[in-house]
Amino acid sequence: MSDTAQTKLRSQTGAQDKSGTTVSAEVDKVIIGSIAAFTGVIGLWSVACLVSAMYQAGGPLGLVVGWFRAVSGM
């Protein structure tokens, strides 16, 4: 095979590392991992906000009553 034919063949199959996975597959794994980590951080932050609100309102029932008062304008 000539060098140009081998180059075309490599460019068509995509860049691969020694384990056989493509570079785009590795990038996809990093992106999915980043999204999952960011989602976890947002989830922890929202739980911390709810716990803080319940503490400030005097418990879960106080939080619900305060929320209804705020929404209804009473």
Cα-based distances in Å from 60 to 23, 51, 55, 66, 67 = 49, 9, 8, 10, 11
Q: Confirm if 55 and 49 have CB atoms less than 8 A apart.
A: no
Residues of the chain short of pLDDT 50, as ranges, are none
| Res 43: pLDDT | 97
Quote the pLDDT of residue 5.
60
Domain segments of the chain as ranges = 25-74
